[in-house]
């Protein structure tokens, strides 16, 4: 479904990711891991279209979308849950979810369906998004992305700044999302959390791929994660 | 001295100022653009109506039906082609560009028209009046403008609060990048907001042209009144804007009741008092830079 090859992107003169190639299938889940500043969020932003690729290609459902605008990608079925949640603070929770109707995509994820998936979000629906706890904000941000009925869901650091119980609760929803045939590409600093849910893992080190594969051991990963050669 | 009469007149005058201020407030609220050419676009609409009236021999309200949609289209095109390029972290480019537009419009109007004062006329309605309780007589036309202003602000505030477009308008003023992640194109949201603002300014310009008079250079005074109404009312609140416009109108007419030559000054003084003691305006809402 998603095929990225040789993707390079930069902030001004500074190259943030170099020559990244990866693929995500419908209903599949790939975790991108790496230390702070490894380029994980940049990778997701580039796939979502918030940052232009300087070279390489992004194919989605067979179409080259490398030069497409971010909103066009959403209409094709790519949804990003951005770093820091980025809810609209002056809108209520429900209004935040309703903004996703702009994607004009129909599917299983109606407002009622996401409220069923996240009862906490349903409870807070009339509250302003600026007045939510971190966990509520993250759940709302995922719910908002789901309302665009994505074929591919990009999750950026779901666990950041949240209590372990809340993180576990959010990750417990992923199987329901995958069950709709949605592919997930998630970025995570918490390696053990990522390994628990993901079929395969893609490790970034200083903007480049350092390791990729399935059923990796922690020892393989720690080498690739920190850039230390195995002895 | 009977102050009831000037107060009522001032409230009605506030309706006219609210029409001006609403579009200015909308453009600032959504795009953070301070449109310095706003008053000149009002004058442009009034001249446009004059042309339609001369060509088709219709009354100004019929001309407005032609001019307001044309101004809305002009606003959309202007936003997409010119103003969009001025958006960014710094407010300076949009200030410079709209200031330039202001000069261009004033001079173009001088070139194609003349520096004379012009008026639009509705015939007998211009001078018709009705008697309200307590013996206050008000003009039918100012009363109509006030009612129209309340209706239009009501519609605008309903659109902002209840429709999908309104939600996206509020969302885009929070965070444009994240709006694109919902599948919406902020440029179109901006274009439509500018179209609405320009439609409103056309209505306000024609109403002002009937109620008072206009010349190629009268736009800057209209801009100042609109600004003052927005600041007194508090940025980003439509009903605050109406309140601000009414306060400004009342300040002017009450001031004029004491010293007829100092009508405008009285409005400015009240505005400065608000700036000094209630800088966030009536609605007291803090605005993010």
Of chain B, the percentage scoring pLDDT greater than 70 comes to 98
User: Is B285 within the bounds of a domain?
Assistant: no
Cβ-Cβ contacts under 8 Å, A101 against chain B: 164, 182
Hey, are the CB atoms on B170 and A91 less than 8 Å from each other?
yes
Give the mean pLDDT of B25-43.
92
Give the mean pLDDT of B11-22.
94
Helix axis angle, B38-56 to B60-78, nearest 10°: 130
Hey, are the CB atoms on B170 and A88 less than 8 Å from each other?
yes
pLDDT value of position A231: 45
User: Is A11 within the bounds of a domain?
Assistant: yes
B288 confidence band (pLDDT: 50, 70, 90): very low
Query: pLDDT tens digit string along B95-128?
Result: 999 999 999 999 999 998 788 888 888 888 888 8
pLDDT value of position B279: 82
A222 confidence band (pLDDT: 50, 70, 90): confident
pTM of the full structure: 0.90
User: Is B62 within the bounds of a domain?
Assistant: yes
Q: Return the higher-pLDDT residue of A199 and B33.
A: B33
Of the candidates A74, A98, A105, the beta carbon closest to that of B181 is on A74
User: Is B288 within the bounds of a domain?
Assistant: no
User: Is B41 within the bounds of a domain?
Assistant: yes
Q: Identify the domain containing residue B107 by its residue range.
A: 4-277
Q: CATH code at A14?
A: 3.40.50.300
Q: Identify the domain containing residue A222 by its residue range.
A: 2-84+149-226
Q: Is pLDDT of A117 > 60?
A: yes
User: Is A52 within the bounds of a domain?
Assistant: yes
For B181, name the nearest residue in chain A, comparing CA atoms only: A71
User: Is A210 within the bounds of a domain?
Assistant: yes
Hey, are the CB atoms on A95 and B178 less than 8 Å from each other?
no
Q: CATH code at B125?
A: 1.10.3470
Of the candidates B170, B178, B183, the beta carbon closest to that of A75 is on B183
Give the mean pLDDT of A52-60.
96
What's the number of domains chain B is made of?
1
Q: Which of A160-164, A195-199, A221-225, B125-129 has maximum average pLDDT?
A: A160-164
Give the HSE-up count for residue A129: Cα atoms under 13 Å, Cβ half-sphere.
25
Q: Is pLDDT of B45 > 90?
A: yes
pLDDT value of position B289: 38
For A98, name the nearest residue in chain B, comparing CA atoms only: B164
Q: Which two tokens stand for residue B113?
A: 């028209």
A128 confidence band (pLDDT: 50, 70, 90): very high
User: Is A96 within the bounds of a domain?
Assistant: no
User: Is A157 within the bounds of a domain?
Assistant: yes
- A→B contacts (Cβ < 8 Å), by residue, are 48-50, 69-71, 74-75, 79-80, 82, 86, 88-91, 95-96, 98-105, 144-145, 148
CA torsion sign, A190 to A123 to A119 to A185? negative
Query: pLDDT tens digit string along A78-104?
Result: 999 999 999 999 999 999 999 999 999
Mutation for testing the A interface, residue in B182, B186, B235 having most A CBs under 10 Å: B182
User: Is A128 within the bounds of a domain?
Assistant: no
Parallel, antiparallel or unpaired: strands A2-11 and A53-60: antiparallel
Nearest CA to B164 out of A216, A95, A18, A25 is that of A95
Hey, are the CB atoms on A102 and B179 less than 8 Å from each other?
yes
Q: Is the ipTM of this complex over 0.85?
A: yes
Hey, are the CB atoms on A100 and B182 less than 8 Å from each other?
yes
User: Is B286 within the bounds of a domain?
Assistant: no
pLDDT value of position B122: 84
């Amino acid at each position: 479904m998603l095929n990225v090859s040789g993707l390079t992107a930069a902030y001004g003169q500074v190259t943030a990711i170099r020559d990244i190639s990866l693929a995500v299938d419908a209903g599949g889940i790939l975790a991108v891991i790496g230390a702070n500043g490894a380029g994980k969020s940049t990778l997701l932003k580039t796939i979502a279209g918030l940052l232009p690729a300087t070279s390489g290609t992004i194919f989605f459902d067979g179409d080259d979308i490398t030069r497409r605008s971010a909103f066009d990608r959403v209409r094709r079925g790519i949804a990003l849950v951005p770093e820091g949640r980025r809810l609209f603070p002056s809108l209520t929770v429900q209004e935040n979810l309703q903004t996703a109707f702009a994607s004009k995509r129909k599917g299983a994820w109606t407002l009622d369906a996401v409220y069923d998936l996240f009862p906490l979000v349903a409870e807070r629906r009339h509250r302003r998004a600026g007045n939510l706890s971190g966990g509520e904000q993250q759940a709302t941000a995922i719910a908002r992305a789901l309302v665009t009925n994505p074929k591919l869901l990009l999750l950026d650091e779901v666990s950041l700044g949240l209590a372990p119980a809340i993180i576990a609760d959010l990750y417990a929803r992923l199987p329901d999302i995958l069950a709709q045939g949605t592919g997930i590409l998630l970025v995570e600093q918490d390696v053990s959390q990522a390994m628990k849910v993901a079929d395969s893992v893609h490790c970034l080190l200083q903007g480049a791929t350092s390791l990729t594969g399935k059923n990796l051991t922690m020892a393989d990963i720690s080498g690739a994660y920190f850039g230390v050669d195995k002895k | 001295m009977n102050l009831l009469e000037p107060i009522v007149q001032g409230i009605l005058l506030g309706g006219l100022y609210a029409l001006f201020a609403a579009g200015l407030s909308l453009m600032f609220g959504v795009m953070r653009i301070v449109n310095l050419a706003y008053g000149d676009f009002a004058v442009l609409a009034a001249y446009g109506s004059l042309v339609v009236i001369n060509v088709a021999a219709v009354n100004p309200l019929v001309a407005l039906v032609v001019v307001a949609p044309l101004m809305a289209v002009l606003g959309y095109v202007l936003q997409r082609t010119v103003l969009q390029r001025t958006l960014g972290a710094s407010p300076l480019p949009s200030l410079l560009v709209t200031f330039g537009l202001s000069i261009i419009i004033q001079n173009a109007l001088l070139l194609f028209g003349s520096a004379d004062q012009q008026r639009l006329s509705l015939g007998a309605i211009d001078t018709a009046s009705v008697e309200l309780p307590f013996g206050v007589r008000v003009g039918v036309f100012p009363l109509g403008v006030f009612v129209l202003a309340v209706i239009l602000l009501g519609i605008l505030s309903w659109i902002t609060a209840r429709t999908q477009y309104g939600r996206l308008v509020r969302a885009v003023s929070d965070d444009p990048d994240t709006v694109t992640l919902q599948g919406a194109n902020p440029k179109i949201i901006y274009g439509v907001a500018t179209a609405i603002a320009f439609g409103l300014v056309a209505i306000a310009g024609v109403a002002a042209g009937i109620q008072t008079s206009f010349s190629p250079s009268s736009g800057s005074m209209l801009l100042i009144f609109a600004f003052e109404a927005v600041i007194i009312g508090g940025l980003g609140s439509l009903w605050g804007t109406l309140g601000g416009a009414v306060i400004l109108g009342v300040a002017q007419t009450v001031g004029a009741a004491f010293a007829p030559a100092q009508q405008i000054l009285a409005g400015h003084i009240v505005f400065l008092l608000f700036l000094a003691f209630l800088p966030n305006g009536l609605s007291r809402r803090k605005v993010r830079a």
